[in-house]
Structure 1
Amino acid sequence: MALKKALRVKKKKDFDRIFYAKKSTANKKFIIYQLPSDLGHFRAAVSVSKKLGNAVVRNRVKRLVRHALAPLTPELSKVDFVIICRKGVETLTFDEIQKNLVHVLNLSKIYQKD
C-alpha cells in the first residue's frame, strides 16, 4: 500500500512554508519539519540528499519511507511535514526504517497510537 498523491506535499511554496516554520524533530536517521495544516488531513514529503547515493538509491529510500508511512496514516495528525533522510538510511532494512520512522513521528507528536 503506497501513500496516495493527495497526501503528499509537492509544491515548492509548500516546502518553503514548512521549512520557514522551523519546527523540527530528529533522531539518528530522520529529521521532520512540520507545520499545522488547515486541510482535513496530513500531507507528507520525503527528501533524500544526493550524498546518500545515486538516483536509484535515493528513489529506493523514498519508496521505502513512503511504504513505511502508509499503514500509519489513520493515526497521523493533521499537519504538513517533510521527512529528511540522514546518512545511513540507505543501508537499513524496511523494518528498521519503519521502526526509526515511528520513533521520530512519536517524538514530533505527529503519530499518536491509541
Structure 2
Amino acid sequence: MKRTYSLRKNSQFQYVYRRGKSCACRELVLLFVRGPRMQVGFSVSKKVGKAVVRNRVKRRLREAFSPQIPMLKSGQYVFVAREAAAAADFAHLQRSMNYLLRRQTLYREEAK
C-alpha cells in the first residue's frame, strides 16, 4: 500500500472517530468518512496482546486492504482491530473486511 493512502496524524484519526459512520463484526470495526482523497488507518488496541501481535495484525490488515483500493469510494477509512483479530488467520480477516465494506456499500458501482 502506498504511503499516500495512510492516515498518520492523531488529528486525522480523531476526525474519523468523531464524524465517521461505524460498522462492526467480531474481529473489526470500520469507521468511514466521505472525502476527496482515499486514506486509511489501522488501529490495534493494547488489549490485543504484545507489540509483536499488534504489529502482525496491522500488517495483515494492510495487506488485506491493498487490493481493495481501486474498487472503493474515496474517503477516510479507519479499521480498529478487536481482540478476536489476533487469533484470526489472514483469510478470515480478509472476509471480515470485505463484509464490512459491502455492508457500508463502499464499493464503487462499476467495481461490483
Letter in 2 for 1:64: R
Matched residue, 2:41: 45
Higher share in helix? 2
Structure 2 unaligned spans of 5+: none
Which stretch shifts more, 16-25 or 50-59?
A: 16-25
Aligned to 2:99: 103
Please name the residue that 1:90 is paired with. Answer: 86
* Runs of 4+ residues over 6 Å off in structure 1: none
Aligned residues, how many?
A: 110
Contact kept in structure 2, 1:18 and 1:80, CA below 8 Å: yes
Question: Corresponding residue for 1:8?
Answer: 6
C-alpha distance in structure 1 between counterparts of 2:49 and 2:106, whole Å? 28
**CA RMSD, Structure 1 to Structure 2 (Å):** 1.2
Distance 2:41 2:54 in 1: 14
Residue of structure 2 equivalent to 1:33: 31
Segments of 5+ residues of structure 1 without an aligned counterpart are: none
The counterpart of 1:57, out of the listed 50, 53, 71, is 53
Instruction: Report the Cα distance in structure 1 between the residues aligned to 2:11 and 2:46, rounded to whole angstroms.
Output: 22
After TM superposition, the structure 1 stretch with the greater mean CA deviation from structure 2, 20-29 or 93-102, is 20-29
Q: Deviation digits for residues 30-62 of structure 1, max 9, x if unmatched?
A: 1111111123xx111010011110000000000
User: What percentage of residue pairs aligned between the two structures are identical?
Assistant: 29
Residue of 69, 74, 91 corresponding to 2:70? 74
SS at the partner of 1:32? strand
Structure 1 length-normalised TM: 0.90
